Amino acid sequence: MDPERKKVVERVAVSTFPDEVLERVLVQLKSHKDRSSVSLVCHSWYDAERFSRTHVFIANCYSVTPEIVSRRFPNIRSVSLKGKPRFSDFNLVPPNWGANIRSWLVMFAAKYPFLEELRLKRMTVTDESLEFLALSFPNFKALSLFSCDGFSTDGLAAIATHCKNLAELDIQENDLNDKSGSWLSCFPENFSSLEVLNFANLSNDVNFEALERLVSRCKSLKVLKVNRNITLEQLPRLLIRAPLLTELGTGSFLQEHPACQYSELENAFNKCMNLNTLSGLSEVTALSLPALYPACANLTFMNLSCAALQSGEFAKLLVHCPCLRRLWVLDTVEDKGLEAVGSNCPLLEELRVFPTDPFDEDTFHGVTESGFIAVSYGCRRLSYVLYFCRQMTNAAVATIVQNCPDFTHFRLCIMNPWQPDYQTNEPMDEAFCAVVKSCTKLQRLAVSGLLTDLTFEYIGKYAKNLETLSVAFAGSSDWGMQCVLGGCPKLRKLEIRDCPFGNAALLSGLDKYESMRSLWMSDCKVTMNGCRVLAKEMPRLNVEVIKVDGSNESQADKVYVYRSVAGPRRDAPPFVLTL
């Protein structure tokens, strides 16, 4: 664009729309996707956007450096960061891989002294970092750690001790060193700002009286999720002190002395008028469950994935939960339980069925295709499913997606790899064909079972909105992966393990990877040479190979490819080779 024209445009822009106004308007924009779009309109919009942005979401901590972020966004109050590739949750990434929060914290302390919120997923966080965090940000309000590692309860103690304005402490599913529950007692006696407390996955006892006092003081407490050491006798004492609770995660739901405390429990739940989310319920039995019924009327999310319920008691519970939109269960409820879901939860949008005993193959348990079908008939609004089972048929999946064409997330895990349709003995290709054809809004797909390249042909051809694809033990040749990379215009994340895809497949995506967040391929047929070619052709991608001990020199065991403006990692451990 020639300079003359540019000046005209800018002058016009300034006179009709002062930056301050624009910024005021843009502050209302919360979605980072919208903000990205706004920033691309023109320079003044880019500037207005960057000054008005208070929350930054960095989906891959290695895609950008702290310096770049702080230069662009000077007014950040809230940061969300994701680190390791998702398959690290399943032990596919060796320890000490990286994604350490430290360098980010140092930058934040320098550039964002008023930082209020930090939400981390799959990052490595040490106790020193937590203490640094606690001491560096006087306004710090919210800490959420999900699937992180590297810290212990000492770090939590530092947070509790020093963060005077803490409103949210959410410690979920982390690989932490749980030394003791004494961290909870570190909240000062005058501390009262907590609104969200989630320590459900910690295993050590906390001092109950300290917890009771804490809950008493924090009048705005809305979310309380305790760990399984909190007993059913203790629960009512917490509930009566937290009348504003909207999300509750109970501890153990095991009744030790049936008669006496049941009424107390019932009373406490009677008063929980505002609950919309319920979880916990470990060790629940049919005897203690009915105490919950009064509190279930407005529940929209019930997480029973730690509660080994049988179908009968589960069905009775569901009768009291007509408003459920999200439900997580264990497969102990079996198909019968899922039939009850279909009958009682017409508003259901999300269902996750977790396996109780994923490694025990000889005992029958769990759910089959019938349960899934039953849910699909009763819950037509279903849009998110995560389903672990041991058998499935193409016909069943076809029926399911015919009933529920609005799926945006379809994650089916047939737990035995390479398993065909158990009735026809054919591959499960047609199942996923049905999924991608019927569910035009599909954003996330996880496939399983015996699959040939045909599945991937279908995916490439029909899954126009697909953003995330997870593949394991599937495909017949490079062609499969090529189809996906050649189709799927909106693909952002592709994670593959144990598939027969090699260099030809890898290199067919050359043009695609820069528009994607990342690619993960482990235990496929990719070689070091293939990766080197990729790295050479696409210098703006980071092509990293994780070498596993004892593997063949030329094999690229685990390949992680991602776009980055930060250049190659400077903190890579020895087993990560950047090509």
Partner 1 sequence: MSIPLEHNYIGLTETSSMERGSDKLSSSSSSTLSTEDERSSTLNLKETELRLGLPGSESPGRKPGLGVSLFGKDLEDKNNGYSPNSLKNLVSGAKRGFSDAIDGSSGKWVLSMSNGSEVDLGKGAVLFSPRSGNGGKPLVGLEGKNNTQQSCLSAKPTMKEASSVPQSSKPVQEKKPQVPAGNEHGSAPAAKAQVVGWPPIRSFRKNTMASNLAKNNEEGEGKTGSRCLYVKVSMDGAPYLRKVDLKTYKNYMELSSALEKMFSCFTIGQCGSHGLRGRDGLNERCLRDLLHGSEYVLTYEDKDGDWMLVGDVPWEMFTDSCKRLRIMKGSDAIGLAPRAMEKCKSRD
Query: What residue ranges bind partner 1 (CB under 8 A)?
Result: 87, 89-92, 147, 173-175, 201, 254-256, 258, 282-283, 285-286, 305-306, 308, 354-366, 368, 370, 388, 390-391, 413, 415-420, 422-423, 425, 427, 449-450, 452, 470, 472-473, 476-477, 497-500, 523, 525, 548
The CB-of-523 to partner 1 minimum distance in angstroms stands at 6
- Nearer of residues 48 and 278 to partner 1, judged by Cβ: 278
Longest dimension (CA), the chain: 85
- Nearer of residues 92 and 115 to partner 1, judged by Cβ: 92
* Residue 287, number of CB atoms within 10 A of its CB: 13
The CB-of-426 to partner 1 minimum distance in angstroms stands at 9
- Nearer of residues 33 and 359 to partner 1, judged by Cβ: 359
Q: How far, in whole angstroms, is CA 489 from its chain's centroid?
A: 23
Task: Identify the bridge partners of residue 386 per DSSP, sorted by sequence position.
Answer: 352, 411
- Nearer of residues 177 and 423 to partner 1, judged by Cβ: 423
**Spatial CA neighbour of 250 closest among 321, 331, 307, 193:** 307
The CB-of-557 to partner 1 minimum distance in angstroms stands at 9
The CB-of-419 to partner 1 minimum distance in angstroms stands at 3
The CB-of-138 to partner 1 minimum distance in angstroms stands at 32
168-172/78-82 β-pairing: unpaired
- Nearer of residues 366 and 530 to partner 1, judged by Cβ: 366
Q: Do 204 and 229 meet the contact criterion of CB atoms below 8 Å apart?
A: yes
Q: Do 327 and 299 meet the contact criterion of CB atoms below 8 Å apart?
A: no
**Spatial CA neighbour of 430 closest among 447, 409, 443, 414:** 447
Angle between helices 127-136 and 102-111 (to 10 degrees): 10
Show Cβ contacts of residue 280 under 8 Å, excluding neighbours closer than 6 positions.
Answer: 200, 225, 226, 228, 248, 249, 250, 251, 253, 303, 306, 307
- Nearer of residues 37 and 424 to partner 1, judged by Cβ: 424
The CB-of-90 to partner 1 minimum distance in angstroms stands at 3
247-249/493-497 β-pairing: unpaired
The CB-of-431 to partner 1 minimum distance in angstroms stands at 14
The 3-class secondary structure across 388-422, one letter per residue, is: EECCCCHHHHHHHHHHCCCCCEEEEEECCCCCCCC
- Nearer of residues 115 and 499 to partner 1, judged by Cβ: 499
Taken as a whole, the chain contains a residue count of 579
- Nearer of residues 205 and 514 to partner 1, judged by Cβ: 205
The CB-of-191 to partner 1 minimum distance in angstroms stands at 28
